Chain A
Amino acid sequence: MQITTPNFKENATRALGDAALQKALKNVEIGFIAKRLAAADALPEFEALRDNARDIKNHTLAHLDLYLEEYEKKVIASGGHVHFAETAEDARAIILDICRKRNAKTVTKGKSMITEEIELNDFLEKNGITPVETDLGEYIIQLRGETPSHIIAPAVHLNKDQVEADFRRVHTHLPPERDLSQHEALLNEARQVLRQRYFEADVGITGANFLIAETGSSVIVTNEGNGDLTQTLGKCHVVVASLEKLVPTLNDCAQILRVLARSATGQDMSVYTTFSTGPKRADDPDGPEEYHVVLLDNGRTAMLGTEFQDMLRCIRCGACMNHCPVYHAVGGHAYGAVYPGPMGAVLTPSLSGIEVGGHLPNASTFCGRCESVCPMRIPLPKMMRHWREREFEKHLTPSAARYGLKFWAFFAKRPKLYRAAVSVVMPLLSVLGGTSRRISSLPLAGGWTKHREMPAPEGKTFLQAWAEKQAREGGR
């Protein structure tokens, strides 16, 4: 995708003025939050499970090399292939090679953010291969030529009437007078259109929610069953996953599954949780003839051992963005990157550089709601602050902010000078407040007064007034 993160401010302003988007975003704010809360409240051990999930991933990351080796061995033992891809380009080349060897014309795809990250669809199309998204949300945005605006609900920025219009525009083989007024009608139509595509597909590409070192299995969780059809009906199953999806054992996977769906959609479990281990065996009734895993690094191992390592615990549940007031205001596309919301604000600079992604860790109020709901207890605000530090060290902070900060700090670090300055400035500012006790516009404070009044200071500073009171009362 075209990264437009440097234009975040403009993107955000446009998003705020987009009435259809604002209507759609209400669903995030209302739906996801209440469902997660109900699911978490219904499980007394939920907080303990979060601790446990965090510990499992911390352990895995501390021994990532060992578990990767073990995983690779097990995949090979079950008849599959493992391909290590250091960059997005490497991953695309590996996948194209697999497709070409099967002479593939069509590939079906389960939902996969990693394939968004490596921009696989565009690449396949340029190479004469048609990618077909089979997750309903992904299918809708593919029809619209859009990217996902949410990591688990890719089309959450759309309303039903928009989807209906797209289906009528694209599904021209169906009678124009058909009734699409109900959600179910849209769902059924997508299901019918997609069903045939599964059988036509030469290759099925899915992501993975987990990779299990103990068994060499890949795991996907879905609610539509589309991922299962993608990986079992195609003749060749390609799993595209990033390294940090690894967990040591089946038991570890089962434990993290208990917090995943609850945090994401408020379900106890997703409708389908599917474990794939290798290709079809001789006595299996069905399954793919080939099984490949493309393991993507793309900057992740460089995060190990840094203050951003904790980010690699992320299981992509989306709870952080579901609870983020900034995401609620502007939606996912404004972030201009593959991953939006708080997790994207940490990950985007890791993947694309702070020079490109700098806005995102800044565009946070640090309200901490993301961290409070993260099933993996990732300290997202803390890591966003670390990005601000890197930015400040590299002198990338906008100069007005930097000089403003330095000017303020110069005084704040000199209490006597500070006292002298504020005891002159604040009473003057107070006078500007007149009888209304507020100021409507103030030089250098346009960012504040554009949308709100500046409350007038009361007059003397507290320390000034306190010192005078102490003097009057003869000190205490």
Chain B
Amino acid sequence: MTDQPSVGLFVTCLADLFRPTVGFAAAKLIEDAGCRLEVPMAQTCCGQPAYNSGDRKDARALAEQAIEAFDGFDYVVAPSGSCAAMLKKHYPGLFKGDARWEARALAFSAKVHELVSFLTDVMKVEKVESDFAGTVTYHDSCSGLRELGIQAQPRKLLSSLPGVRLAEMKNSDVCCGFGGTFCVKYPDISNAIVEKKKATIGETGADVLLAGDIGCLMNMAGKIKREGGRTEVRHVAEVLAGMTDAPPIAGK
């Protein structure tokens, strides 16, 4: 057992609160990849809402909390490009000028990975097992795409599933309009952006919309279902883990 890398699952607040299925799917994928998984109970949120609202003090307090909660793991893995980017790319900057914490944050951030890219790039997973069958389309969430370079990895694992057909949407790399607090601060603009996204998703004729970030998925699912769309919405980990028994996000 000891030669297995240890992974702390940073489940993310949205998966924890809204979509536990994603946490279980992530756990299965990480364990199937040959890792020893633990879920620290002292985790809450990465602090991104505070950070992006200009509240560095609370952001830093939450960063310290997360760094301490995940002390000692070989890897810290999150099923979200956005939260993983916060942990990996933004934490060290919060401690500028505090040498001890900055060094600790840098050591921590080096261990952080987004779930799907962790599977493919670190654990060298080539294929996953899942009975899921259907046509899917994949939205590239912004933070994962632009801050962590996640684009090929989910497509690679999806293509390893015999039952899955990927129908790419136009502009899959364009923002869905979620933007964290943006979507409630500027609801009309956010709506205009997600309307365009909904149209490009609809054009693919896919049964299921997938992405790697629950915030974006909740936004797109909420819009699709408000307008009576039939596309189901799930986190990519649910399909990769074959855990699609739970109703889709925002229902059928």
Residues of A within 8 A of B (CB): 9, 12-13, 16, 325-326, 328-330, 362-369, 371-372, 385, 387-393, 397, 401, 405-406, 408-409, 411-413, 415, 418-419, 422, 426, 433, 435-438, 440, 445, 447-448, 450-463, 465-467
Contact = CB atoms under 8 A, between A and B. Distances in A.
B249 interface: yes
Contacts of B49: 405, 408
B193 A365 contact: yes
Contacts of B184: 445, 447-448
B4 interface: no
A369 B174 contact: yes
B185 A362 contact: yes
Contacts of A447: 183-185, 187
B65 A385 contact: no
Contacts of B41: 415, 419, 463, 467
Contact of B247 (A387, A437, A454): A437
Given A391-B54, A401-B53, A437 B251 contact: yes
B137 to A, nearest CB: 18
Contact of B20 (A12, A445, A458): A458
B58 A413 contact: yes
Given A329-B189, A448-B184, A463-B41, A458 B19 contact: yes
A277 B248 CA distance: 66
B179 interface: yes
Nearest to A359: B186
Chain B: interface size category: 35 or more
Contacts of A435: 251
B62 A12 contact: no
B61 interface: yes
B226 A451 contact: yes
A315 B247 CA distance: 50
Contacts of B174: 325, 367, 369
Given A405-B58, A418-B44, A456-B251, A365 B178 contact: yes
Contacts of A458: 18-21, 246
Given A405-B58, A451-B190, A452-B222, A463 B52 contact: no
A429 to B, nearest CB: 9
Nearest to A13: B188
Contacts of A328: 193
A103 B89 CA distance: 59
B219 A452 contact: yes
B193 A463 contact: no
Contacts of A372: 146
Contact of A455 (B20, B143, B192, B221): B221
B56 A389 contact: yes
A450 B192 CA distance: 12
B17 interface: yes
Interface of B: 11, 13, 15-24, 27, 39, 41-45, 47, 49-56, 58, 61-62, 65, 69, 142-143, 146-147, 173-175, 177-194, 218-219, 221-223, 225-226, 246-252
Contacts, number: 215
Given A368-B146, A452-B223, A363 B250 contact: no
Interface centre among B11, B21, B44 (most CB of A within 10 A): B44
User: What is the predominant secondary structure among interface residues of chain A facing chain B?
Assistant: helix
A440 B52 CA distance: 27
Contacts of A451: 187-188, 190-191, 194, 223, 226
Nearest to A418: B44
Contacts of A411: 44
A415 B44 CA distance: 6
A390 B54 CA distance: 7
Contacts of A438: 222, 225, 250-251
Nearest to A422: B17
Contacts of B175: 325, 365, 367, 369
A287 to B, nearest CB: 47
A365 B69 CA distance: 29
B17 A457 contact: yes
A330 B20 contact: no
Contacts of B173: 369
B250 A437 contact: yes
A463 B50 CA distance: 22
Nearest to B178: A365
A180 B127 CA distance: 61
12 contacts: A328-B193, A329-B193, A364-B179, A366-B142, A367-B142, A367-B146, A369-B174, A406-B58, A409-B62, A455-B221, A455-B251, A463-B39
A389 B24 CA distance: 36
B222 A454 contact: yes
A445 B18 CA distance: 15
A190 B24 CA distance: 65
Contacts of A16: 188-189, 192
A401 B188 contact: no
Contacts of A406: 58
A456 B250 CA distance: 6
Interface centre among B178, B179, B188 (most CB of A within 10 A): B188
B80 to A, nearest CB: 13
Given A364-B179, A415-B65, A447-B183, A369 B146 contact: yes
Contact of A462 (B16, B180, B218, B226): B16
A329 B189 CA distance: 7
Nearest to A437: B251
Given A365-B178, A456-B250, 10 more contacts: A16-B189, A325-B177, A326-B193, A329-B192, A366-B179, A371-B146, A401-B181, A415-B44, A445-B184, A458-B19
A385 B11 CA distance: 25
Contacts of B51: 385
Nearest to A390: B54
Given A368-B142, A388-B54, A455-B218, A413 B61 contact: yes
A385 B52 contact: yes
Contacts of A448: 183-184, 187, 222
A144 to B, nearest CB: 25
B127 to A, nearest CB: 26
Contacts of B62: 409, 412-413
Nearest to A445: B184
Given A412-B47, A455-B218, A462 B187 contact: no
